[in-house]
Amino acid sequence: MSVKTCVNIPDELFNEAKKLSGNFSFVVTEALREYLRKKKIQKALSSFGKWEEREKSSVDIVSEMRKGGKRRCADRHR
């Protein structure tokens, strides 16, 4: 499925893209794919180190959750 939309693009960018590729839709689609890929990588990289700021290790936190009985968690120690 595809979506038709209207976007404002500076003339010089449009003209350069048309010179490099006869299919402007393909150029925009590839640019959006690359943009989204980079954003996902940035999001993943920014999440690294979040656990380091906690007083307990992630293993201890998960173990406490399993002992609490409030949530059904897989017990891998059985």
Say if residue 36's pLDDT is above 90.
yes
Q: Which of 15-19, 20-24, 36-40, 46-50 has the lowest mean pLDDT?
A: 46-50
Q: What is the pTM of this model?
A: 0.54
Task: Kindly write down the DSSP assignment for every residue of 9-50, as one continuous string.
Answer: --HHHHHHHHHH-S-HHHHHHHHHHHHHHHHHHHHHHHHTTT
